[in-house]
Structure 1
Amino acid sequence: MPFTRSSVSAEGLALFSERWRRCSVLECSPARSAEDLPRGRSAYGARTGSAAVLACVPPQSRRSFFAGNRSFLHREAEMEYETKRERVRRFLADNGLAGVVIRKVSNFAWLTAGGSNFVALHTDVGASSLLLTREGAYLLANNIETPRLADEEVGRLGLEQVVMPWYEDDRLGEEAKRIAGGPLGSDVPLDGCRTVSLDHLHYPLVPEEIERYRLLGEEAGKVVSSVCRQIVPGWSEFEVAAEASRLFWQRGIQPVVLLVAADERIGRYRHPLATARRVKKTLLVVVCCRRAGLIVSLSRLVSFGAVSDDLARRHRAVCEVDAAFISGTKVGRKLSDVFADGIEAYGRTGFPDEWRLHHQGGPTGYATRYSRATMRSAEVVSPGQAYAWNPSITGTKSEDTVVVTDTGTQVISADQSWPMVEGLPVARPDILVREG
């Protein structure tokens, strides 16, 4: 069966993709005719204006409405895509390439304003590819993936389809090279292609991305707070993870890392996968969650009954370290210098060697961490970047996601109802104390 090529049709597509229609925060669903809608709400389709779209969204739900849809208007997605495509064009010219194959889940989401090319949830490499040349843009996918991608992910981006039968997936590189007609790069190893990294093209985040990121962070913080406020002693770590997963998926958010530790497991393991262990006194919840490709990270600690003096001292110290990392993350500073600020804070608070027991975090965005900051990190902090610092001292941890702008660094995953440790350069989440 030969390859087939065609333009991705946009006719008849609903304004928003099916995967966001599953988001429980919406109180209406896309409809193709008035008969499909509850009485009093307006139908809308691919060409309907924003006023008509908002007419079917209750005012109290509109903030989540924007958060739960990859792009509010197709025009915005197209503009974001064109901005990023121009970055790729410059990359091709700078590196003497005729084109680049994009297959990594992170790069696909970044370029398409939040599209998903994966099938398995926990994978770095997608089931379909994009090919960008200096002149053209193509969707390279087999006959299994093409219909969904065209309908729900890239239908408005004007990509030309290159469809292959599923049993000839191994011809991807061959076809890509034929189309490009010159030296070809690929973000994953591919025969005859130069393996390249596109991570640096993700920055600076465009304003639409930053807004999506802030909304994701806000919802993620509230989900974790909700879980921490409803658990009671006797819940298993599995049950805590299950409840967090349920609340995330209701909002179209994918928990890509979900760690839960009860009591002595908090101090014993830095990466505590959930077990059947039941909560008695203390619980730690750690999440990295993704929506539209962007990933937010945060950690929260709960104590049933009064916090011991030792744990209170340790948590105050780790909050000071985290505040040093965050306040030091300023435009123009070398990442190694920010790292040094955090290490100095470990020593100042009486825990000089704890940093050696776990990495401290680093730049984030479309990856949980693009890199782990060290004393050798040469990167320079720039506007439109995101960072997630995660210092830990045995028995406790502090973690949130921040976005750097020209005017300062904003924590985006905070929940205003959570108790905070004040008197620091940046207030940090305290231990939530509940009745035992």
Structure 2
Amino acid sequence: MMADSASTEEVAVIGNTDITSAESENNIINTMVERGTALLRKMEINVAEAEKRTGKNTVNMQETYTVYLIETRPAESVPEGGTPATPDTLWRRYSEFELLRMYLLVTYPYIIVPPLPEKRAEFVWHKLSADNLDPDFVERRRVGLENFLLRVASHPVLSNDKIFFLFLTEEKGWREEVLDTGFQDKVDSRLKSLSAMFRVKNPDKRFTALKQYSDELNTVISQLLRVRARVADRLYGVYKVHGNYGRVFSEWSAIEKEMGDGLQSAGHHMDTYAASIDDILEEEEHYADQLKEYLFYTDAVRSVCRKHELIQYELEMAVQDLAHKKQQKEELATGTVRVFSLKGMTSKLFGQESQEQRESRLAALDQSIQEGEETVMEKNTECKEFVRTAWEDIERFKEQKDKDLREALISYAIMQISMCKKGIQVWSNAKECFNKM
């Protein structure tokens, strides 16, 4: 059973041999998803491998693309000497990951949804391929996609989403399931978001500060990645030039008798040193990918801020509309017009309305005002709830960000120290070779 039997919060599920396959599937989903705990505690998730395929796209043209094998299995303890359960597997394209993330963004606008790895390589040094079908790039993207799934599966809210669970477990029919949710109808237009951004009168200072911080973090990480790419270029050149030492020492050893062996050995050390840069920079790419993840996270943070601006804007528009209706009622009741209006000019030209007409309009305005007050209350509640839930996730994200970036930078520093020590060791070995000559 996938549920944790040791937890007192879990509900026992009694097997029923008469249930249909659909009911059985629903029971599995409920067991895995609806317990309020992160899915990752109950399921192991891996993106095991990538495979290049060729097929026809939507416009019937031949294309080459990459698919990724997702493996899932119940997170059960395996007895000593036993074998773990055979994983369930399915293949997904990168575009399906994109569809899943878009669904999560729209469905959970108050959550900082984990980003996907880059679709095409950015901030690359010149020896690194920018081809999205390059094996090294595909491998790094495989790691990034697995990290994305693990991020979602460990999130206290996103991990409980049924569409996400189906993404992991249902290869066929998943796309139809996600489209049937109608999430695409809820996507806010860019024009609407821009209008809200420029016209909100009372923005929440916390979200304004957060948006500014995400912009600045994006700039800082971008600069850091550019610097790292330039350093990698130069470091690659420095290391490879050491191969010339190896060649020269080897040629020199051929004309020496007593010194020949020492020079030959020193040349081998130089060759080893020159060749080591490939593995070093490959390892560096993984640290760069960790920084890129938070570069892309800044877009997710801004998305939450934009959604808050939109909700705040709708609230302000509702308040403004209600105030306008109340003013109309006051003017109609007192017969005074505060500002110039077409209605006021019409009254002067054609005379006042009859009592019945006025009462009818007052009744209609009363109804409209009541509806407006209800709308304001709904928007106010929506705004407060958004702020509450969004800020909970923002605090969670801040803690995660600080921990991840600190660990990444420390690991990067340790790697650089190790690289320098290896360089010292190579020259120490060369020195020993020279001493023996």
How would you bin the TM-score normalised by the shorter chain?
under 0.3
TM-score (norm 1): 0.23
Q: Indicate the structure whose relative CO is greater, using CA pairs within 8 Å and at least 6 residues apart.
A: 2
Task: Return the structure number with greater helix share.
Answer: 2
Task: Return the structure number with greater strand share.
Answer: 1
TM-score (norm 2): 0.23
The structure that has the greater radius of gyration is 2
